[in-house]
Structure formats: C-alpha cells, structure tokens
Amino acid sequence: MCRLFEYALVLMCFSFACGHRSETLDGLLALGALLFTAGADFFLVALKEEQWLPGMALFCVAQGLWAVRLWLREEGKRRLVHLFVWAGTCATLLVVAVILARGVDALLLLGAVYASFLLTTVFFSWLSPRDLLFTLGMTLFLGCDLFVAVNNAALYLDLGAYPLLKTLYDIPFNMMWAFYGPSQMLLALSSAGGRR
C-alpha cells in the first residue's frame, strides 16, 4: 500500500506540472521529463513485481529531456562546452556498450547510461544555477539514486566488507524516498518557470 502512496506523489507532481508549466519549450521539456519519470515509476514502484529494464529505460529518456532543457538554457560558449561534454559522455557510453555488448547485463548497462546522464546534468545545473528549484531537485534526485545504488549493491557485493555501504544499507528508514519525494516536487515546481 505504501508503494501506491509513493506513486501517487509522483503522479501529483506530474499533474501539477500539467496545470502550471510555463507555456514554453522549457515547460514542455520539463513536462515530458516528468511524464517519463511517472512512466518509469509505474514499472519500478506501482507494480507489485518491479520491472527494472523498462523502468530504467524510461528514466534514461527522462534524464535526456532534463539534459536538453538545461542545455537550451545555456548561451554562447557555455552551450558549446555543454554540447561537447554531452557528446563525449554519449560517445564514451557507446564505445563501452559496443565493447561489452556480448554477455553484459542489460540492466547494468542502462544503469551506467542513466548514472552518466544524471551526474552530467547535476554537474551542469550547479555550474549555472539560474533555476535553484531545478538544481536542488536534481541534486536530491542524485541523493536518492545513491541509496538505490547502495541497496542494489547487495546483489553484487558482500556489504560486510564495506562498512560504509553496510551502514547506509542498514538505515531503518526509506532514505530513497526521503530524497526522491522532495526532488520530484522541486522539479515539478521548476516546470512552472515563475508561474504558480
């Protein structure tokens, strides 16, 4: 039941953006990113059995839309630098994907793509924090995903050998949603572009 409340929060953030987004390309990109986020969370939160592959694929699209939104806000040389960094990130991921294509876990590959997109977006949002709501929202998103990574690390690592990871894993509170809920609210508010 808790999962349905969590998913309802994501839908409320998307609904807010539907009614309050700015009537610009910026607002449309934010709405699209929130829509793909809601789609991703349908597979990862709303369903009883998590469907990680489609969920992560939709999260990658959402992060791509956030990245385009941020890039369009840049001007002059900063936009060019931003473009080169993104092109380098994508090219590196493509080369790694081709090298590892045989026998690699598709979910791990999507996770690497998603993490690269998220880290790049957070980095650029702090370089030019014109929209504090967006910058804080993306930073909290990163905080959430650090706890997601710690929880999933238990599938691949013996956490007993990593005291910090074990401590984070054993926190008796859902730290993922402590970060994720506020991040979605801030990102939805950022879609309004000054309108409330």
Nearest C-alpha neighbor of 7 from the set 29, 49, 31, 40: 40
Taking every pair of C-alpha atoms in the chain, what is the biggest distance, in angstroms? 52
Asked whether residue 196 is domain-assigned, the answer is no
Instruction: Quote the Cα angle for 83-17-111, to 5°.
Output: 50
pLDDT tens digits along 149-180: 887 777 666 767 767 767 776 676 678 889 99
Concatenating the DSSP letter of every residue in 70-104 gives HHHH--HHHHHHHHHHHHHHHHHHHHHHHHHTTT-
Q: 149 lies in a domain?
A: yes
Is position 168 within any domain?
Answer: yes
**Which amino acid belongs to residue 125?**
S
Q: Which domain holds residue 35?
A: 2-190
- The pTM of the full predicted model, rounded to 2 decimals, is 0.85
Look at residue 195 and tell me if it is in a domain: no
Burial class (CB in 10 A: 0-12, 13-18, 19+), 119: middle
What's the total number of domains in the chain?
1
DSSP annotation of 43 reads I
Name the token pair of 79: 């936009």
- Does 83 fall in a domain? yes
Q: What is the pLDDT along the chain (196 residues), one digit of tens a residue?
A: 588 889 999 999 999 999 887 788 988 999 999 999 999 999 999 887 889 889 999 999 999 999 999 888 887 777 778 778 878 777 777 776 666 666 667 777 788 888 888 988 998 899 876 789 999 999 999 999 988 888 777 766 676 776 776 777 667 667 888 999 999 999 999 988 654 4
- The pair of structure tokens assigned to 115 is 């993490």
Give a three-class secondary structure readout of 110-168: HHHHHHHHHHHHHHHHHHCCCCHHHHHHHHHHHHHHHHHHHHHHCCCCCHHHCHHHHHH
Give me the amino acid identity at 10.
Answer: V
In a domain, 85, yes or no: yes
